[in-house]
């Protein structure tokens, strides 16, 4: 909106406008965009651009006032592509549980980046279903290899604790936590973890992150409206080159695996997928193909590292902000696990308080506030509206995790809401952090194991405190592609056990 606030049209702005019009003519698109019949209302739509300027750099802030102004279901346009935003626990749940809403949109940029392959961005259908089912069963606790997932996480937790010990008394844990969490996916997918200083590893993580930032940013939005831009030189080429570099790194790993493959003894997810390609060679409809393997691999990195590591950083920040709650966690860990061994998954049922703290941290930190965009599979009747096939749908998780009809005083950090009268762990229905329905997060179990094992082993060994006496922990999120805490320094005291 602010971009259009200036009354004086400057020359560069005019030039840009003329250029955009030319691009549009090249693509033979409609200049005037209108809402379809019986479509949810929303802000006025600009010719050509739709509402995209309203989104700005931060879609969460950009759409802030819309729900109050236009109601629980409203629409905006990204260029000419309609997008409906759905608010409140009841309505979001209805969308998520329905197969009719389980498609993913056909966004130009995703197509160009091959992100419609694999799982996260794949259209609803047999190919998605089979690859999702395969990945889920391969990632199950005892899916493959001699090492269980629990052991893999604990191995990494030990390394993480060592790095914490070697840091100064106050430091930013971001880098170490990111590496530890990424290494879990590396271990499962590549069969081995990386040293935190490994060049390939750091480059891979850096490129994946850079790509997400670029695609989610202004440049990404513009390319979605004017896909021809992807064929022209300019800064937008960075997205394509960094995607190509990631692909090359992953493909090199796949080639290494193929050269040493023993199909009867898969070491990791890549081996298992290669064996599946072999097995289904005769089936012309099989989705198990090389191209899809590299995208499945990337999907797990993109969906599984930033999310989990951001959640851990939030949880530690909340522990510094609420030292009493941290002390209660210490007490439960000491009673159930003691000091002589690492925590294990079988401890979790005996640790309802720690479990409640992790869940409440996840709820209040709300790291994926608008989820992952869904899309209607066919024309759908919804709340007296008619949404044509291919309408993009955003589920507003803020309106779910802070829904006043579901949570008492939702803005308070209160782990007690996950405990019943006798102190047993309970999970309210509106805890939709991992989404729900056919597209529910594929890594939910893995993420919950990671959060529990990393958090309890760190708290078993350390006490965390806010090191700066002149300030308080800042609990205001900063939006990237996930809602992350502001960078912080953490005080660490080894516990005398
Ligand atoms: C705290 C950590 C995590 C959170 C909060 C989280 C949350 C989510 C959410 C909200 C979605 C979108 C679901 C939808 O479209 O409605 C999703 C999808 C997905 N997540 Fe996670 N996730 C986490 C960790 C992981 C991990 C560790 C993995 C890797 C194994 C993973 C893999 C996926 C995949 C593959 C999808 C796409 C599913 C599909 O489209 O069929 N996630 N996740
Ligand atoms: C999401 O819901 C919250 C809480 O109801 C609201 O403040 C916010 O504006 C909504 N965001 C969008 C994008 O509609
Ligand atoms: C790869 O997977 C996607 C979606 O998961 C599917 O649409 C596509 O057909 C698959 N590719 C091949 C070559 O089978």
SS (H, E, C) 80-121: CEEEEEECCHHHHHHHHHCHHHEECCCCHHHHHCCCCCCCCC
Is 94 exposed, middle or buried (CB count within 10 Å of its CB: 0-12, 13-18, 19+)? Answer: middle
The answer to whether 393 and 375 are in contact (CB under 8 A) is yes
393 Cα: distance to centroid of ligand 2 (angstroms): 14
Report the nearest atom of ligand 2 relative to the CA of 64.
9
Report the nearest atom of ligand 2 relative to the CA of 402.
4
CA 396 to chain centre: 14
Bridge partners, residue 494, by sequence: 462
Ligand 2 atom 5: residue of nearest CA: 399
Rounded (10°) angle between helices 306-321 and 323-336: 110
The answer to whether 280 and 134 are in contact (CB under 8 A) is no
Nearest to 52 by CA among 67, 70, 29, 33: 33
Per-residue pLDDT of the chain (497 residues), as tens digits, is: 333 333 445 666 667 777 777 776 666 666 788 899 999 999 888 877 778 665 555 666 667 788 888 999 999 988 888 999 999 999 999 999 999 999 999 888 777 777 789 999 999 999 999 999 999 999 875 555 557 889 999 999 999 999 999 998 899 999 999 999 999 999 999 988 999 888 888 888 888 888 877 777 777 777 777 777 777 787 778 888 888 888 898 999 999 999 999 988 888 999 999 999 999 999 999 999 999 999 999 999 989 999 999 999 999 999 999 999 999 999 999 999 999 999 999 999 999 999 999 999 999 999 999 899 999 999 999 999 999 999 999 999 999 999 999 999 999 999 999 999 999 999 999 999 999 999 999 999 999 999 999 999 999 999 999 999 999 999 999 876 689 999 999 999 999 76
Ligand 3 proximal residues by C-beta, below 6 Å: 117-118, 122, 127-128, 131, 287, 289, 291-292
Q: In the 8-state DSSP scheme, what is residue 29?
A: -
Report the side by side order of strands in the sheet with 490-494: 170-171, 490-494, 462-465
**How far does the chain reach from its first CA to its final CA, in angstroms?**
57
110 Cα: distance to centroid of ligand 2 (angstroms): 26
């Amino acid at each position: 909106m602010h971009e259009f606030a200036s009354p004086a049209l400057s020359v560069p702005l005019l030039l840009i406008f003329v250029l955009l019009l030319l691009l549009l003519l090249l693509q033979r698109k409609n200049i005037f965009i209108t809402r379809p019949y019986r479509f949810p209302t929303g802000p006025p739509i600009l010719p050509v651009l739709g509402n995209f300027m309203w989104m700005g750099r931060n879609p969460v802030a950009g759409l802030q006032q819309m729900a109050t102004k236009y109601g629980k279901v409203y629409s905006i346009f990204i260029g000419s592509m309609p997008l409906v935003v759905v608010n409140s626990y009841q309505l979001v749940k209805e969308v998520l549980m329905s197969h009719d809403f389980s498609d993913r949109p056909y966004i130009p940029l995703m197509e160009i980046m091959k992100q419609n392959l694999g799982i996260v961005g794949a259209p609803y259908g047999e190919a998605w279903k089979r690859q999702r089912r395969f990945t889920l069963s391969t990632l199950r606790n005892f899916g493959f290899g001699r090492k269980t997932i629990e052991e893999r996480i604990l191995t990494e937790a030990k390394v993480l604790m060592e790095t914490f010990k070697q840091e100064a008394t106050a430091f930013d844990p971001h880098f170490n936590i990111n590496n530890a969490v990424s290494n879990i996916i590396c271990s499962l997918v590549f069969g081995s973890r990386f040293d935190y200083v490994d060049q390939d590893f750091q480059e891979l993580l850096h490129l994946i992150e850079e790509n997400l930032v670029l695609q989610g940013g202004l440049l990404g939005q513009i390319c979605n409206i004017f896909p021809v831009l992807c064929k022209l030189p300019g800064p937008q080429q960075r997205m394509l080159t960094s995607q190509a570099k990631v692909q090359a790194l992953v493909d090199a790993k796949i080639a290494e695996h193929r050269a040493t493959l023993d199909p009867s003894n898969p070491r990791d997810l890549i081996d298992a997928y290669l064996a599946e390609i072999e097995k289904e060679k005769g089936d012309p409809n099989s989705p198990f193909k090389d191209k899809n393997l590299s995208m499945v691999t990337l999907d797990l990195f993109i969906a599984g590292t930033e999310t989990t590591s951001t959640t851990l950083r939030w949880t530690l920040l909340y522990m510094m902000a609420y030292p009493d709650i941290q002390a209660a966690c210490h007490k439960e860990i000491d009673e159930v696990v003691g000091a002589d061994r690492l925590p294990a998954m079988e401890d979790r049922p005996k640790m309802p308080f720690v479990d409640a703290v992790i869940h409440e941290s996840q709820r209040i930190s709300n790291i994926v506030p608008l989820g992952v965009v869904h899309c209607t599979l066919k024309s759908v009747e919804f709340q007296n509206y008619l949404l044509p096939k291919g309408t993009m749908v955003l589920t507003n998780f803020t309106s779910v995790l802070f829904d006043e009809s579901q949570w008492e005083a939702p803005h308070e950090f209160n782990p007690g809401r996950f405990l019943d009268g006798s102190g047993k762990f309970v999970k309210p229905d509106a805890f939709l952090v991992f989404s729900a329905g056919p597209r529910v997060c594929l890594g939910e179990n893995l993420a919950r194991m990671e959060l529990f094992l990393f958090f309890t082993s760190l708290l078993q060994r350390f006490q965390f405190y806010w090191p700066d006496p002149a300030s308080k922990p800042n609990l205001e999120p900063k939006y990237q592609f996930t809602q992350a805490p502001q960078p912080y320094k953490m005080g660490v005291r080894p516990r005398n056990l």
